[in-house]
Amino acid sequence: MSVAAALLAAASVLPGPAARATVPHSPAAGAAPATPQPRVTVAGEEKADDAVVRYAPTGRSWRTVIREPGSTYIKVHFASLKLVPGDRLTVADPAGREVHTYHGDPTVARAPGDASFTVHGRPGFAAMSVEGDTAVVTLHAAARRSEAADLNRRDYGARVDAYFRGFDEAERAAANPGTFSVCGTDARRDVGCYQTSHPTEYARSGAVARQLLKGVGHCTSWRVGNTNRMLTNQHCMESAADLRASEFQFDYQCATCGGNDPRAGTKVSGAELIKTSPLSALDYTLFSVNDFASIQKYGTLYLDVREPVASERIYIPGHGDTKPKRLSLYEDRDGGAYCKIDRVSSGVNTGYLCDSSGGNSGSPVLAASSHKVIALHHLGGCPNWGTRISLVNAEIAGQIDNSGPPRASR
């Protein structure tokens, strides 16, 4: 592996119209001077489409199927959705493992219990993604629609104008060349591999989610504190528009150690951008999500608002390479030396040799002594780098509840 490849923390910037301007990372802001800036991992692409699902006078459901063989996800964008009251539209995988339901255009009025959605700077909305290479879009009528012809003349039904599809492993490697910030051999393993041997580390990883940005980019984010608050890097979410175009997938992890059998998990969309600091400073974004109640069961993380200590043990859960959640617990494969703090301070950062890769941007770095977050991962280079959480806390303390788990009532 070349030195240049080892220095990269994440992959190429989003392609085409989604690309964002490069923000120089000042050495004074804490990165090692030779370390290139991080970028969002390219995970897929947007493709135009022109499909409609209309009412018909026979039957009570009508559908269209969007399939891209080999894709890892499909996320459908609707130019319009207009339904008769009581009817609904579903976007699902063929097996029905994931089903996202909408009773009308959620940008106009969201019905109680309907799925989250994202918006992408143009009319319409995108449904939550479904895992795999096929999305089935179905219009379900509460009764037969003998007036179907009239409904169609009045533009009832659904019109799909585009969809996002996830790259397979070969496509992702081509879009994100190089091996990024794996320091020696890759020691990361599925979080489930540690459920018995390291139950606390396993439990804390539940609060970590995979972020899908604008339908085509991946980072990592996580719940912080007792309220509806989450953190990621600012280079993964620069604006409120980025947040509105993002979805967050909790519990996307393999059911068995090394089983390549990830659960679909729970997907929610972004709500409010609360506070942010640019890449040239602390590189964080604090935000909230919609449907917060649906993700509370996965737990939360708290901040360890002290300075790191040389050689103290750490660990990092995250979604490097857009894969199901893995835990970076050891520096060396097969249970070698534990990850630890190698550089206590370099500008705003702390350094370590815990393996990471594109998609790990935004991951929490936890201190093993407290199982609280001591840094926010955002740069590679072996050592890899995280913004010291004491500095982040100084700016967001008034916006989060970092008091620890509520005491059980007696």
* Closest among 410, 360, 409, 400 to 384, alpha carbons compared: 360
The tens digit of pLDDT for each residue in 198-220 reads 999 999 999 999 999 999 999 99
The yes-or-no verdict on residue 4 having pLDDT over 70 is: no
Tokens of 213: 């940005």
Give the pLDDT of residue 1.
32
The yes-or-no verdict on residue 25 having pLDDT over 70 is: no
Average pLDDT over the chain reads 88
Task: Give the total residue count for the chain.
Answer: 410
For 227-263, letters b (16+ CB in 10 Å) and e give: ebbbbbbbbbbbeeebbbbbbbbbbbbbeeeeeeebe
43 vs 3: which has the higher pLDDT: 43
Give the pLDDT of residue 178.
67
Domains of the chain with bracketed CATH: 3-41+178-399 (2.40.10.120), 44-166 (2.60.120)
Tokens of 357: 């890769």
Q: What does the alpha-carbon distance between residue 260 and residue 393 come to, in Å, rounded to a whole number? A: 36
Give the pLDDT of residue 291.
96
The percentage of residues in the chain with a pLDDT greater than 90, rounded to a whole number, is: 74
Residue 135 — pLDDT band, cuts 50, 70, 90?
very high
* Closest among 216, 208, 206 to 232, alpha carbons compared: 208
